[in-house]
Structure 1
Amino acid sequence: MSSQLFNEFEPVSAKQWKQKIQVDLKGADYNDTLIWQSLEGIHVKPFYHRDDFNEAFKPIPGQPTDWKIGQHIFIDDETIANSLALDAIERGAEAIYFSSESEFDVKKVFQNFPFSKVPVYFDFSFLAEAFSLQLNQFLSEKNATVFYNIDLIGTLGTTGNWFHNLKEDHSILETILKQSPSENILQINTSTYQNAGANCMQQLAYALAHVNEYLNHFSENKELKITFKISVGGNYFFEIAKIRALRILYAALASEYGMPTDCHIVATPSLRNKTLYDYNVNMLRTTTECMSAVLGGADTIANLAYDGLYHKSNEFGERISRNQLLILKAESYFDMVSNPADGSYYIESLTQELTEKALALFKNIEAGGGFLHQLKEGIIQKKIKESAAKEQALFDEGKLKLVGTNYHINKNDVMKHELELYPFVKIKNHKTLLAPIVPVRLSEKIEKERIENE
């Protein structure tokens, strides 16, 4: 019956749709009225059609069949960190993302930890050979699934310095990789690029150039596994396409080195568009950003704490953020289909354009000496600042709206006495090898002025 029903309708071509739209515009220019240009230079059309594609869509390489709910936990007191991790798992967390600024007692942190069902991610702001080898041995004996997430270049870009120095850092990394050549040791942290203002195309190109430095250096290790940490912004469909494009680009690059073409992607919402005032809106922002991460194909998604911008870590804020993901998975059925974006003309088109533009920029970076060279020369920092300035100008002019901050402002909203954390850029006066890439929120200037006038 369904086939007979559809036989009653003639197919409509893209040309016919455009002609109909032009009639409805009653003389207004089609391009000026309905086509807009993104910060990546992509012209977004009012509709997309199968006529726009010359060949069938190819599957995204390494697309996961499911995704895990991650929970961030900072290790200060080992006993407390252990208690928080076990409680988070009991309440629905499926992966734990530990961060730490110093070495810790491994056995205390992982006491009674369910290694068989919960993978572990690390984010350390230090690099110590003996501790790393001890941690690796302990977790190997437990048959744990672990992502160590060491990123020397990412640390250099974010802080302006190596952990120790170039030679010592590489020596430690090589020792760790030699002990565990097939484990998840390396991470490419692209979150800094997004939070500092790089557009989607730049984030992809920098991620590719960033990882290329490692692939080139460790080209003899054909078992090398790569994890990407990304931040997801508020441009819903572009962010879905960005994650898909990242997998395509990495697979193409890794195949040239004869390495595994699948990569592991950990996603977290961006800080760039989060606001201090009317902070409840941040819940809406993080929800749609987590949705983009799921639909784009992230392996693990760790949400931002509900009030993490201005409050210290607390049970309520963490529970709200975790429950957002639980609702997406258990009540909104975002885990029922592994590739829901496949075949969407709009998303497929965005994926293709982002891939092509990012690849062109990557080739330009390589021709200019490579990512590390351009980072040391300040070229990458300059390009990110230029992109951030364009986005900031749109916000300052009111064309980019953040509800409660530069649009629908609640003048009675006050925050001065709520601040447990400093929510603005912190300038550290210390010597660096190069200018660091500094994350900046769009609303910081406005918020500082409002706090001063409260």
Structure 2
Amino acid sequence: MSNTDTLPDWENLVKKQLKTEDIDAILKKDNLEGIDVSPFYSSVQKPLSNLPKVEENTHLVAKYHESLEGDVFAFLLDQNVESLEQKTIFINNKDLAEHISPEETDQYFSLIDVFDEKKGIINDQLTKELLAKSFKKNICVDISLHQNAGAAIYQQLGIALAKAKELVEAYGEEILNKIIFRIAVGGNYFFEMAKLRAFKLIFNQLSKEYGLDEVPYIFAETSLRNKAVADNENNLIRSTLELASAMIGGADAVFSNNYLIGKSTENSEEISFKQQIVLAYESIINVFEDASNGSYYIEDITRQITEKSWTFFIEIEEAGGYLELLKQGVIQKKIYNHAIEEQKWVEEGKIKLIGVNLYPKQDIKRSIEDLYDEKEIKAVRWAEMFE
């Protein structure tokens, strides 16, 4: 398209080449999120200013190993390790958290979800114990489970807000500054960037309802949903793209789950972490505040995800709140309905997983009914149908 061409000129050329008057009918692709995606963009409805993150540079988080102490600045801990000075530590174990008393100069974060999803309650004793700790962020709101269970993007974000609202009602609005959000990033590259951006907008809006102006702290990790047991190399490619989405979308910390499903090794853990190193040091995408700002496409889907997520959050609140709907089984059923639609797309080949349902296409061994339970939020990988 030259400088002298107009948009109608370009559209007419495309119509001629495609031999149609309806470009959208040919070029548009369906999605399960209910997001309207145009085949091309020439403007955006409401341009956004840069969406900030809490950390200046995205933390690259590794599972702790002694050999990494000299080079890695952020660790995920499942067990106690002495003398980790000047490190950023993400605690992933309740028993460990109880025995840690950080110094003021230490950077400790809790990744322990205080919600009991099965009982539909907040663990009050655990919450109070964590709030008493001198952590940078004491309380984790975990929606990684919901993504891995098949929740839609707008469901994940609406649930994250609803869980935060439950915490405010129980412990006061000051808790909003103590929350870290644990979010799983899936394989829909641009949608996942928009997901993190949209969450910043709706969380900030929630905080304004209480007279605050908070930015959410986002710990993003790679999804398990699109990974396969016998597809290691493709798992690695998928998780690399997910990490890129998280960094570009503005996560404060990123972590790569092991790309070997069910058979983690020391070597695979090292490779999983080094995915982050390559992205950060070769592409330098972990230092930007809002790298995708200005993309008409991402701006537009950010807006749509924001609106759908806020609407879903309001629906939850008007129906009694997250915990009440958990007890009634409503949340579980909503996630289940979306998850089985996704799984049908995998079964039909609309969602393509190379090496699973494409090149080679494997026989279906388990039905949707075998994989999912409408009464339980549980992680299910798409590939389990074929394994």
Please give the TM-score of this superposition, normalised by the length of structure 2. 0.89
Q: CA deviation at 1:219?
A: 2.0
Which of 6, 17, 36 aligns to 1:12? It is 6
Which of 17, 24, 37 aligns to 1:24? It is 17
SS of the aligned residue for 1:399 comes to: coil
Q: 1:112 to 1:342 in 2, by over 3 A?
A: same
Which of 72, 77, 95 aligns to 1:98? It is 77
Residues 194 and 299 of structure 2 are in contact (CA less than 8 Å); yes or no, is this contact kept in structure 1? yes
CA RMSD of aligned residues (A): 2.7
Which of 189, 209, 217 aligns to 1:264? It is 217
Which of 75, 82, 85 aligns to 1:111? It is 82
My pick for the range that moved more, 324-333 or 280-289, is 324-333
Amino acid aligned to 1:277: A
Q: Which runs of 5+ in 2 are unaligned?
A: 363-369
Q: 1:17 to 1:352 in 2, by over 3 A?
A: farther
Cα distance between partner residues in 2 of 1:400 and 1:444: 14
Q: 1:161 to 1:371 in 2, by over 3 A?
A: closer
Identity %, equivalent residues: 32
Q: CA deviation at 1:61?
A: 4.0
Please give the TM-score of this superposition, normalised by the length of structure 1. 0.77
Mapping for residues 28-427 of structure 1, pairs under 5 Å: 29-50=22-43, 52-53=44-45, 55-62=46-53, 64-73=55-64, 84=65, 86-90=66-70, 92-99=71-78, 109-114=80-85, 116=86, 118-124=87-93, 126=94, 132=97, 134-135=99-100, 138-140=101-103, 143-153=105-115, 156-157=116-117, 160-161=118-119, 169-177=123-131, 179-180=132-133, 183-219=136-172, 221=174, 224-307=177-260, 309-312=261-264, 314-335=265-286, 337-409=288-360
Cα distance between partner residues in 2 of 1:369 and 1:343: 38
Q: CA deviation at 1:443?
A: 1.1
- Bigger CA radius of gyration: 1
Cα distance between partner residues in 2 of 1:257 and 1:40: 30
Residue correspondences, number: 379
Q: CA deviation at 1:239?
A: 0.3
Amino acid aligned to 1:311: K
Cα distance between partner residues in 1 of 2:208 and 2:5: 40
Q: CA deviation at 1:426?
A: 10
Cα distance between partner residues in 2 of 1:200 and 1:176: 29
Q: CA deviation at 1:410?
A: 8.1
Q: Which runs of 5+ in 1 are unaligned?
A: 1-7, 74-83, 101-108, 412-424, 428-433, 448-454
Amino acid aligned to 1:310: G
Residues 127 and 139 of structure 2 are in contact (CA less than 8 Å); yes or no, is this contact kept in structure 1? no
Residues 342 and 348 of structure 1 are in contact (CA less than 8 Å); yes or no, is this contact kept in structure 2? yes
Q: 1:220 to 1:189 in 2, by over 3 A?
A: closer
Residues 190 and 298 of structure 2 are in contact (CA less than 8 Å); yes or no, is this contact kept in structure 1? yes
Cα distance between partner residues in 2 of 1:317 and 1:149: 23
Q: 1:19 to 1:212 in 2, by over 3 A?
A: farther
SS of the aligned residue for 2:78 comes to: strand
